[in-house]
Chains A and B, each alone.
Chain A
């Protein structure tokens, strides 16, 4: 079975500073990886996904993530954050083949400070 670990539950950062949200996964087979964002009182929105190909994935709102198979990581980065990026971020994995459900990490609350 696959699992996802988000190493930081809370990440405070000042506006315009860079940020990295960490995600590690465990799976014995090939995986698909996702980052979702959840704003207060809303559902989840896809930021970016890795299915295959280039290990550097660019998403919406200036976010990007790098798939590292040897370290089983999929860290999310943004070079300069804005107040509006304050939200909870979830890393998720879906195992290739017949399994279609997503297994989510516990989430990282990103708080951007003025």
Chain B
């Protein structure tokens, strides 16, 4: 069974640009969550999607958005990039909506110059 796949793995953007990150969950998993990891703030929850609906959202500005498609694949978008958006963005999937094991991808490392 393939794991969680995130693309791209690395990318470099400049301030003011926007970026879209993609996540393909484990086959059969309907819940996808996104986390931001930085040395200063650690791991912070961005949002969770289940069956194309956002179920929960963290404390991030509106520049951070996401969506989920009917095949459970998810994308997150960050607009008007700031230097502080440089981070490892991790996607995680799980099979249902109850608390349990999250399966993480290897992340997309975004550098904003």
Chain A residues with CB under 8 Å of chain B are: 32, 34, 36, 41-46, 49, 51, 90, 94, 96, 99-107
Given A94-B99, A100-B97, the answer on whether A41 and B106 have CB atoms closer than 8 Å is yes
Q: Check B102 for interface membership: any CB of A closer than 8 A.
A: yes
CA distance A42 to B90 in the complex (A): 10
| From A36, A43, A94, residue with most partner B Cβ within 10 Å | A43
Q: Check B105 for interface membership: any CB of A closer than 8 A.
A: yes
A51 touches B105 (CB 8 A): no
A103 touches B106 (CB 8 A): no
A51 touches B104 (CB 8 A): no
A101 touches B56 (CB 8 A): yes
Closest beta carbon of chain B to A25's beta carbon, Å:
14
Q: Which of B84-111 contact A (CB under 8 A)?
A: 90, 92, 97-107
Q: Check B15 for interface membership: any CB of A closer than 8 A.
A: no
B102 touches A46 (CB 8 A): yes
